[in-house]
Amino acid sequence: MKKVLIIVAMACILPNSSSGQNTPADFLSGYIEVDGGELFYETGGNGDNIVLLHDGMVSHEIWDYQFPLLAKYYRVTRYDRRGYGKSSDPQSPYSDIEDLNKLFLKLGIEKATIFGMSSGGACAIDFTLKYPEKVNALVLVGAVVGGYGYTSHMTFRGGHLKNPALMADPAKAAEYFIWDDPYEIYSENREARQKVASIVEANLHQPSDRRYYTPPERIAARFLSEIKVPCLVMVGEYDIPDVHAHAGVISFGIYGSRREVILNSGHLIPVEQPEEFNKSVFRFLRRNDFFDILNRKGVDSAVQYFNNSFTGEPQVPMFSEAEMNQTGYEYLQSGKIREAIELFRINTIAYPDSWNVYDSFGEALLKDGQKDLAIKNYQKSLEINPDNDNAKKILNELKMK
């Protein structure tokens, strides 16, 4: 067994770029022993834990455009499941769920946000159902869920897969999915095809003996409502219809989950549209962080988190305009005027082109007796939207006093 840990150099990708300027960073890689085999992993960064699970074709490198970027803000771990990449092929009965749990235990991960890509998403769901105390949130990308099933359209890839028998040959199967399948990678994403081809070519394994695979104890589709953590469900615009159907089932089953369709992408969103993927992910993660801080530590701490994060990457909003507006009014209506003012204020920073945020900010300032500043915000709202009758009414009333 390989037990020696080695330091490897990686590249930190800028938040708004999937290529281009890179900054070197060091990450730790190695192997952990599991029952009857070993798993390769890489880890880096500090902070709250994120664990990345790859799909059913591409190994841990599917996250090349996310791993170093996320590690700037979190402690991130990615690994190869059995039969993929640098991990060993199954030689005896094993469970993907228990392998993931062993990874948590060996690396000292008490709790993490789990990213699951495709079949890795199914594993993330199964893991969450068995070990809910170990999961902070889920990011499910082109994910499927056990128990929902597939149509013949999925099996024959909408008629494009003329000879399903070639799936038994890893090289031929990879060639089909990378170059011929219209759903795996959107036809316009040529760089993504080349990248996936290079990854798969270097990591071909023989098909795993399914006799060794131990399925989950429960059928996940029936128990999705038990999952109570924040969940982002992402699917590519051109992904196969069955995956869109699974995304709908998952987002319906997990209460409060957020579903997004990523344009100009097939199944492999992280390598096809890395910039859009990264923005969506950071928006989700930072929203979770912001509201967690707001609920646990209060408005001042949450505003400080916003100020620190927004200054560094203003292109990634951590809440929607409407969501923060509603939150501000909840504080205002409960008599917490100072706190409401702070929340409305950061909404004007996040959405400076919205007339509504200045209108709401003006209302809170007026309740606090800050008449002059309230007038400025109502005037700003009216500049953006000359048809804002509420601002006109308030300003006229203030002039008469």
Could you report the per-residue pLDDT of 232-250, keeping only the tens digit for each?
999 999 999 999 999 999 9
pLDDT, residue 399, reads: 83
Among candidate residues 59, 227, 232, 215, the one with its CA nearest the CA of residue 134: 227
Mean pLDDT of 88-108: 95
Q: Is 275 exposed, middle or buried (0-12, 13-18, 19+ CB in 10 A)?
A: middle
Which CATH architecture describes the domain 6-285? Answer: 3-Layer(aba) Sandwich (3.40)
Q: At what angle do helices 389-400 and 371-384 cross, to 10 degrees?
A: 150
Please tell me the predicted confidence (pLDDT) of residue 44: 96
20 pLDDT more than 50: no
Q: How confident is the model at residue 323 (pLDDT cuts 50, 70, 90)?
A: very high
Which CATH code, of 1.25.40.10, 3.40.462.40, 3.60.10.10, 3.40.50.300, is assigned to 319-400? 1.25.40.10
Instruction: Give a three-class secondary structure readout of the chain.
Output: CCCCCEEEEEEEECCCCCCCCEEEEEEEEEEEEECCEEEEEEEECCCCEEEEECCCCCCHHHHCCCHHHHCCCCEEEEECCCCCCCCCCCCCCECHHHHHHHHHHHCCCCCEEEEEECHHHHHHHHHHHHCHHHEEEEEEECCCCCCCCCCHHHHCHHHCCCCHHHHHCHHHHHHHHHHHCCCCCCCCCHHHHHHHHHHHHCCCCCCCCHHHECCCCCCHHHCHHHCCCCEEEEEECCCCHHHHHHHHHHHHHCCCCEEEEECCCCCCHHHHCHHHHHHHHHHHHHHHHHHHHHHHHCHHHHHHHHHHHHHHCCCCCCCCHHHHHHHHHHHHHCCCHHHHHHHHHHHHHHCCCCHHHHHHHHHHHHHCCCHHHHHHHHHHHHHHCCCCHHHHHHHHHHHHC
**pLDDT tens, position by position, 324-359:** 999 999 999 999 999 999 999 999 999 999 999 999
Q: What is the residue-averaged pLDDT of the chain?
A: 90
pLDDT of residue 166: 82
Q: What per-residue confidence (pLDDT) applies to 208?
A: 67
- For the segment 198-226, the average pLDDT, to the nearest whole number, is 88
Given a contact cutoff of 8 angstroms between Cβ atoms, the answer to whether 306 and 318 are in contact is yes
Residue 229 has pLDDT above 80, yes or no: yes
Tokens of 202: 């270097």
pLDDT computed for residue 23 by the predictor: 35
Q: How confident is the model at residue 294 (pLDDT cuts 50, 70, 90)?
A: very high
The full length of the chain comes to 401
Task: Answer whether 39's CB lies under 8 Å from 79's CB.
Answer: yes
What does the domain layout of the chain look like in residue ranges? 6-285, 319-400
